[in-house]
Amino acid sequence: MPGKRPISPHLQIYKPLINMVMSIFHRISGSALYFGMFFLAWWLMSVASGPEYFGFVQGVLASIPGRLILFVFTWALMLHALGGVRHFIWDTGRGFELGTVNWMSWLSLLGSIVLTLLIWYFGYKMIGAF
Amino acid sequence: MSMRTPLSRTRGLGSAKEGADHFWWQRVTAVANLVLGIFAVALLVSLVGSDYATAKATLASPLVAIMLLLFVLSASYHMKLGMQTIIEDYVHSEGRKMLFIMLNIFYSVFVGLTCVFAILKLSFGA
């Protein structure tokens, strides 16, 4: 029955605004991290399993696809963390002015990219790339 | 078998009194994740490219183990709450909703417990 009735406009109707895009990213990054926790469990189990299996898992994670996945997870974590900070501010009843909402959204996007690159800079430093 | 409609039977009873609990724990674990997550990311970056002995010794040290245990517990509860909200938003059929909510709990507990097991095994001598 609901299929026959007119429904309210959904996502594809609206021009994408930054606060709306970041809200969607917050949910997508959260979902990604949900499945990413599996990799953390896998890696921890590999350390607990012994040098041979640890070497195998390290090899998988250090491969190009492995690095790509870890890079995306790093970005998802930073995006979700900064989005969370934004929500803490909103929880106090502050930051609801349109201008504030917009710059906070942009800041969390830019911040997540900067933090991700920083983390990977230090990661590559650990293996002596610099 | 009641002749009354489901709506009339629940009207006046109020909410299930659990909504604020979900919200509260979402925020508590979010705050914890922010602090513990910084520690976890720093720890993982410090172990990039390290050999087995170093990784094992680092994860087995008490303070690291405790911080990491707190992180995986907080993170797995946080992700359970978050995914439940997503399921409730998008899965409308009652049966399928129950199924996914259960699977969500099973997955979150499984991942969390696996992390805890691995950390404790390392701490108590793998």
The verdict on residue B38 lying in a domain is yes
**Per-residue model confidence as pLDDT tens for chain B (126 residues):** 678 898 898 888 888 888 789 999 999 999 999 999 999 999 999 999 899 999 999 999 999 999 999 999 999 999 999 999 999 999 999 999 999 999 999 999 999 999 999 999 999 985
Does the pLDDT of residue A114 top 80, yes or no?
yes
Scan residues 15-54 of A and list those with Cβ closer than 8 Å to B: 27, 30-31, 33-34, 37-38, 40-41, 44-45, 47-51, 54
| Total domain count, chain B | 1
Is 0.95 surpassed by the pTM of this model?
no
Give the CATH number, domain containing residue B36.
1.20.1300.10
Write out the two tokens for A30. 């959260």
pLDDT at A2: 55
Asked, for residue B6, whether it belongs to a domain, the answer is no
Q: In terms of residue numbers, what domain contains B46? A: 21-123
Q: What is the ipTM of this complex?
A: 0.89
- Report which of A79, A99, A78, A85 is spatially closest to residue A21, judged by C-alpha positions: A79
Domains and CATH numbers, chain A: 17-124 (1.20.1300.10)
Question: pLDDT tens digit string along A30-74?
Answer: 999 999 999 999 999 999 999 999 999 999 999 999 999 999 999
Contact B65, B123 (CB under 8 A): yes
Contact B34 A84 (CB under 8 A): yes
Give pLDDT, residue B1. 66
Contact across the interface for A126 and B118, Cβ inside 8 Å: no
Residue A5, pLDDT above cutoff 60: yes
Decide if B83 is inside a domain: yes
Phi, then psi, of A8 in degrees rounded to 5: -70, 155
Residues of chain A with C-beta less than 8 angstroms from the C-beta of B86: 27, 30-31
